[in-house]
Amino acid sequence: MAADELVDVSIAGPDEDQLADFTRLLVEKRLAACGNIIPGVRSIYRWEGEIEEAEEALALLHTRRSLVPAIIEAANEHHPYDVPQVLAVPVSEAHPGYRQWVLDSTLAE
């Protein structure tokens, strides 16, 4: 795994304020360069054998692939869900300047 490989990480949460606080924590710790908070996400999912539906928000984080384990650890500690959604998707292309900004804004593992 290259230390400079970029990923976008999506994390769902109960509301935009909770996700904003969590995203701020990750940015302060340099685990993410930034996060975009998307309010008003309607989620339909299976939980404990039942079909559930909830209004949530979604955070989209821009970071290094090598930092995903630390983000999962932070979610386990600070996220209100028992099993928080933390999904990392590789970034295949990026604006060179933006890519460098993400690298400069995050910890090299």
Establish if 87 belongs to a structural domain.
yes
53-76 per-residue burial string, b: 16 or more CB within 10 A, e: under 16? eeebbbbbbbbbbbbbebbbebbe
Establish if 18 belongs to a structural domain.
yes
Q: Cα angle at 102 between 69 and 24, to 5 degrees?
A: 65
Establish if 103 belongs to a structural domain.
no
Domain with residue 48: its CATH number is 3.30.70.120
Establish if 106 belongs to a structural domain.
no
pLDDT tens column, 37-65: 999 999 999 999 999 999 999 999 999 99
* Closest residue by Cα to residue 84 from 18, 33, 5: 18
Residue 103 to residue 56: CA distance in whole angstroms: 29
Beta-bridged to residue 32, according to DSSP, are none
Domain hosting residue 80, numbered range: 6-57+64-91
Establish if 105 belongs to a structural domain.
no
Residue-averaged pLDDT of the chain = 95
Query: How many structural domains is the chain composed of?
Result: 1
Establish if 70 belongs to a structural domain.
yes
Model confidence at 108, in pLDDT bands (50, 70, 90)? confident
Q: Under DSSP, is residue 42 helix (H, G, I), strand (E, B) or coil?
A: strand
The phi and psi torsions of 12 (rounded to 5 degrees) equal -90, 150
Model confidence at 4, in pLDDT bands (50, 70, 90)? confident
